[in-house]
Amino acid sequence: LELCSQFFGAKGVAVIDDGLAGFVGAMNGRNGVVLSVGGGVVAIGGMNGTYSHRDGLGNTFGDEGSGFWLGKLAITKALACRQGRGDDPEMVDYFVDEIDAYFALEIRNSVDAVNLATRTAKKVLDAADAGVSTATAIVDEGAFLLAQSAVAAWYGCGGTKADSPEIVIQGGPPRNTSYSTKIALEINAKLPNAVIVQSAGDNLDGATSVSYTHLTLPTKA
């Protein structure tokens, strides 16, 4: 509050989970699920004031289907094929720059390694679109896992299979049309009446909305 008051003239500060802020911004008061996929993953379900939170567990034990997850698996498989522990030489050819970047890492389980994996996500999706079989298998599994998170979020807030929830799929990796389509198909396999919709806003819109609604300003800064 002191910093925000000093630099922005703020009279109060609210702290909000960015997943919930994203849900509020994307759904604009409607019931459904917002699946946010970037370097990590979080699925927020909301129905009539009841909310649920799925995944968002971090890249060591969660974030399945995320950009990091895609890149890590692709580089792992490419390295394995390079060592003769796999039978898809296309992976070695397609990800030769990423293999070189891996060997150039000073510490191979560092933040730089995480960043390398995350940066590789788009290339994995491109490789799948180009027909590289191992990349296609990774992308298919990622879509399945992301759909699991979205469906679990809907059930977690009290939804049922018979409902027709609105589902927003947003973030960097789903900008790949093939990936977003596969995610949607996997969701509809489990929630046949779900409707995939466009986001009404982002997490900044949601945070602003929540703060206006719930933040009680103190009488003194």
112-132 pLDDT, tens digit per residue, is 999 999 999 999 999 999 999
Query: Average model confidence (pLDDT) for the chain?
Result: 92
Q: Is the pLDDT of residue 213 over 70?
A: no
pLDDT at 218: 41
pLDDT at 202: 81
Helix (H, G, I), strand (E, B) or coil at 212: helix
* More confident site: 25 or 95: 95
Q: Is the pLDDT of residue 20 over 70?
A: yes
Query: What does the buried/exposed string (b/e) look like for 34-56 if buried means 16 or more CB atoms within 10 Å of the residue's CB?
Result: bbbbbbbbbbbbbbeeebbbbbb
Average pLDDT of the residues in 55-63: 94
pLDDT at 217: 42
Query: What does the buried/exposed string (b/e) look like for 113-139 if buried means 16 or more CB atoms within 10 Å of the residue's CB?
Result: bbebbbebbbbbbebbeeebebbbebb
Rg (CA), the chain: 20
Residues 207/16, Cβ–Cβ less than 8 Å: yes
Residues 155/33, Cβ–Cβ less than 8 Å: no
Q: Is the pLDDT of residue 68 over 60?
A: yes
Residues 73/67, Cβ–Cβ less than 8 Å: no
Tokens of 148: 């699991």
pLDDT at 67: 97
pLDDT at 211: 65
User: What pLDDT band is residue 219 in, cutting at 50, 70 and 90?
Assistant: very low
What's the predicted TM-score (pTM) here?
Answer: 0.89
Residue whose C-alpha is closest to residue 19's, from 9, 4, 34, 29: 34
* CA atoms of 148 and 180, how far apart (whole Å): 14
* CA atoms of 109 and 126, how far apart (whole Å): 25
- E strand map for 56-129: none
Q: In what order do the strands lie in the sheet with 41-47?
A: 50-55, 41-47, 32-37, 166-170, 195-197
The residues facing 169 across adjacent strands are 35
* More confident site: 88 or 201: 88
Share of the chain above pLDDT 90, in %: 80
